[in-house]
Amino acid sequence: MAERKRRAPQVRNHLAAIKSKVARKGASSEEIVAILTRDHPNAIRAETADILHIGLIKLANDICSLRSGPATSTQLEMFAEYHLARTVNLRVIDSNGHSHRVHKMVDALTKEEARRHVAENTKPARPRRSKDIAELARLVDDMDKYGEAHWTLGQCWKAAHG
């Protein structure tokens, strides 16, 4: 498997060094970034594209973990009794055998995908289930008698609730 490029290595190293110096006294992330900006502008300039990419990925992850809002109203109504994020982060294997993470709406998960996601996140190495995983497991168990294994949770919900 090809090794991933580590993004913004200079900036990461500078941040780690700054953090280890100032964290003993206590420093906020804002203060650490201010020191980085003041002391290492060339590293930031050289790695701006990487920094932008990292920031956008973090924003996408934040957006995908939101629990409410106009874009989620359909799912919230559909699964109102379950306390779920609107998306899950699934591990999928592509045609080359490489593992990737993808965001998928809960109502678009097939029962197979949902069960695999629950199983992967409750292995013996992870004995504690997160609340989201426990709620997803409960939803899949409740929808198990509706439809086929390849049906989405949304299709099963509609079959169960007319």
Beta bridge partners, 104, equal 88
> Could you tell me if 156 and 77 lie in one domain?
yes
Q: How confident is the model at residue 89 (pLDDT cuts 50, 70, 90)?
A: confident
Distance between CA atoms of residues 147 and 161, nearest Å: 12
pLDDT band at 4 (very low <50, low <70, confident <90, very high): low
User: Which element (helix H / strand E) includes 89?
Assistant: strand 87-93
Lowest mean pLDDT across 42-56, 57-71, 88-102? 57-71
Burial class for 4, CB neighbours closer than 10 Å (0-12, 13-18, 19+): exposed
Is pTM beyond 0.75? Reply is: no
Those residues whose C-beta lies under 8 Å from the C-beta of residue 143, and which sit 6 or more positions away, are 111, 153, 156, 157, 160
Which of 23, 44, 64 is a domain's end point? 64
Tell me: do 99 and 118 sit in the same domain.
yes
The answer to whether position 1 is within a domain reads: no
- 44 plus 122 within the same structural domain: no
Residue 42 is assigned to a structural domain of this protein? yes
Quick one: 107 and 146 in the same domain?
yes
The range of the structural domain enclosing residue 41 comes to 9-64
* 132 confidence band (pLDDT: 50, 70, 90): confident
pLDDT of residue 14: 95
